[in-house]
Amino acid sequence: MVSSNIPSTVSFANGQSVTNYFKAFINFMNVQSEVYANLPFAIYYSESQYKTLTYSTVDRLSTNLACKWHKDLHEIDVVSFIGDHSVDYLIVILAAMKLRVTLMLISPRNSNNAVINLLEKTKSKLLIANSKYQTKVNCIAEEVPDIKVLIIESMDIDKLVEEPLNPDQEVLMNQNFTEEDIKKPVLVLHSSGSTSLPKPLYFSNQYLFNLFNYYKLDIITSKLGDLDETDTCLSCVPIFHTLGLFSVFTMCTIGGKIVFLEKLPVSPNEIQFALEYNNCTLMCAPPIIYAEMVHHVKETKNYANIRRLKLALFGGAPFKKETGEWLHKHMNIRNLFGSTEMGIFMTSDVNPLSDNWNSLAPYQIDPTAPAYVQLETDDQSFPDKKHLYIRAGCPTLATNVCNRPDGGYSSNDLFIEDPNYPGYYCYIGRRDDILTMQNGEKTSPIPMESTIRQCSLVKQVVVLGENRLATAALIEINMDYAICYGPEEIISIVHAAVKDANKECPSHSTILPQMIKILPFNKTLPSTDKGTVVRKQAEAEYIEIVEGLYKEFMEGSSRSTANNKISTTWTTEKTEGFLTNSLAEVLCLPESYFKECNKSMFDYGLNSLTSVQLCNRISEYFGDIPQNLVFQFPTIQSLSKYLLSGVKEDATYLDEMRYRQTQDLANEYIKKANIDFPIANGIYSNKSNTVIMLTGATGSLGSFMLRNLLQDSSVKKVYAIIRGEKDILMDRLFKSFKDRSLDTSLLMTDRLEVLPMNFNDTFLGFGKDKYYKLKQEVTIVQHCAWLLDFNMSIEHYNKECIAPFYNLLKFAFNQVNPMHMHFVSSVSASANYGDVVPEDHLPLDSHVCMPMGYAHSKFVVEVLLGFLIKEKNFPCYIERLGQVCGDSINGIWNTSEQYPLMFIGGGSVMHKMPVLDVVVDWVPVDHAATSITDIMLRTADLAANTNQSVYHIVNTRTIPWNDILQFLKEAGMSFDTVIPSEWIEELQKNNANPAYKLLNYYEQNFNESFKMPIWETRKTASLIPNIKKTPIVDASSFIKLLKYWESVGFYDPFM
Given a contact cutoff of 8 angstroms between Cβ atoms, the answer to whether 839 and 1016 are in contact is yes
Does residue 543 carry a pLDDT above 60? yes
pLDDT tens readout for residues 575-606:
989 999 988 888 878 888 888 888 888 888 88
559: confidence class by pLDDT, cuts 50, 70, 90: very low
Residues 6+ apart with CB under 8 A from 469: 437, 438, 439, 550, 553, 554, 608, 609, 612, 991
pLDDT of residue 863: 98
Residue range 313-319: mean pLDDT, rounded: 78
Residue 74: strand, helix, or coil:
coil
Does residue 195 carry a pLDDT above 50? no
Does residue 566 carry a pLDDT above 70? no
Higher local confidence (pLDDT), 1008 or 748: 748
- Other beta carbons within 10 Å of 675: 7
Does residue 1 carry a pLDDT above 60? no
Backbone angles phi, psi at 988, to 5 degrees: -60, -20
Backbone angles phi, psi at 496, to 5 degrees: -65, -40
Domains of the chain with CATH codes: 56-210 (3.40.50.12780), 435-555 (3.30.300.30), 562-649 (1.10.1200.10), 681-888+922-954+1013-1032 (3.40.50.720)
Measured distance CA(461)–CA(476) in Å, rounded: 6
What mean pLDDT is reported for the chain? 88
Backbone angles phi, psi at 355, to 5 degrees: -85, -5
- Other beta carbons within 10 Å of 706: 29
pLDDT of residue 127: 97
Given a contact cutoff of 8 angstroms between Cβ atoms, the answer to whether 920 and 885 are in contact is no
Given a contact cutoff of 8 angstroms between Cβ atoms, the answer to whether 196 and 242 are in contact is no
834: confidence class by pLDDT, cuts 50, 70, 90: very high
pLDDT tens readout for residues 870-912:
999 999 999 999 999 999 999 999 887 889 999 999 999 999 9
Residue range 854-863: mean pLDDT, rounded: 96
Among 282-296, 327-341, 1013-1027, the least confident range: 282-296
Given a contact cutoff of 8 angstroms between Cβ atoms, the answer to whether 782 and 692 are in contact is yes
Residues 6+ apart with CB under 8 A from 290: 312, 314, 319, 323, 327, 333
Rg of the Cα atoms in the chain: 33
pLDDT tens readout for residues 670-693:
999 999 999 999 888 766 689 999
pLDDT tens readout for residues 268-301:
889 999 999 999 999 999 887 887 788 789 888 9
| DSSP code at position 527 | B
- Other beta carbons within 10 Å of 649: 11
Q: Which helix (H) or strand (E) holds 371?
A: none
pLDDT tens readout for residues 171-194:
999 999 999 999 999 999 998 654
Higher local confidence (pLDDT), 440 or 186: 186
Residue 595: strand, helix, or coil:
coil
773: confidence class by pLDDT, cuts 50, 70, 90: very high
Residues of the chain above pLDDT 90, percent: 58
Backbone angles phi, psi at 718, to 5 degrees: -125, 130
Residue range 1030-1051: mean pLDDT, rounded: 88
**Strand duo 102-106 + 185-190: pairing:** parallel
Measured distance CA(547)–CA(85) in Å, rounded: 48
Q: What is the full DSSP assignment across 175-230?
A: ----GGGTTSEEEEEE---SSSS--EEEEEHHHHHHHS-GGGSHHHHHHH----TT
Q: What is the full DSSP assignment across 241-258?
A: SHHHHHHHHTGGGGT-EE
Measured distance CA(922)–CA(919) in Å, rounded: 9
pLDDT of residue 632: 78
Q: Tell whether the torsion through CA atoms of 1040, 1043, 1045 and 1047 is positive or negative.
A: negative
Does residue 706 carry a pLDDT above 50? yes
Higher local confidence (pLDDT), 563 or 842: 842
Given a contact cutoff of 8 angstroms between Cβ atoms, the answer to whether 227 and 277 are in contact is no
Residue range 89-112: mean pLDDT, rounded: 94
Higher local confidence (pLDDT), 627 or 531: 627
Residue range 203-222: mean pLDDT, rounded: 89
Among candidates 337, 283, 342, which has minimal Cα distance to 311?
A: 283
pLDDT of residue 442: 62
Measured distance CA(153)–CA(158) in Å, rounded: 14
Does residue 305 carry a pLDDT above 90? yes
Q: What is the 3-state secondary structure (H, E, C) of 802-868?
A: HHHHHHHHHHHCCCECCCEEEEEEEHHHHCCCCCEECCCCCCCCHHHCCCCHHHHHHHHHHHHHHHH
Residue range 74-78: mean pLDDT, rounded: 90
Residue range 97-114: mean pLDDT, rounded: 91
List the 282-285 sheet strands across, edge first. Answer: 49-54, 40-46, 257-260, 232-235, 282-285, 311-314, 333-339, 343-347, 361-362
Q: Tell whether the torsion through CA atoms of 790, 795, 797 and 799 is positive or negative.
A: negative
Residue 286: strand, helix, or coil:
coil
pLDDT of residue 348: 94
Residues of the chain above pLDDT 70, percent: 93
Higher local confidence (pLDDT), 650 or 907: 907
Q: End-to-end CA distance of the chain, in Å?
A: 50
Higher local confidence (pLDDT), 261 or 444: 261
pLDDT tens readout for residues 344-399:
989 999 999 999 999 999 885 556 666 788 888 876 556 787 889 998 888 889 99
749: confidence class by pLDDT, cuts 50, 70, 90: very high
| DSSP code at position 372 | S
Among candidates 296, 320, 289, which has minimal Cα distance to 1052?
A: 320
829: confidence class by pLDDT, cuts 50, 70, 90: very high
Higher local confidence (pLDDT), 618 or 827: 827
Does residue 608 carry a pLDDT above 70? no
Higher local confidence (pLDDT), 256 or 414: 256
Q: Where is mean pLDDT largest: 102-116, 217-231, 571-585, 707-721?
A: 707-721
**Per-residue CA distances from 683 to 29, 202, 686, 816, 947 (Å):** 79, 78, 10, 7, 18
Among 84-93, 141-150, 275-284, 634-643, the least confident range: 634-643
Q: What is the full DSSP assignment across 456-494?
A: TTEEEEEEE-TTSSS-EEEEEE-HHHHTTS-HHHHHHHH
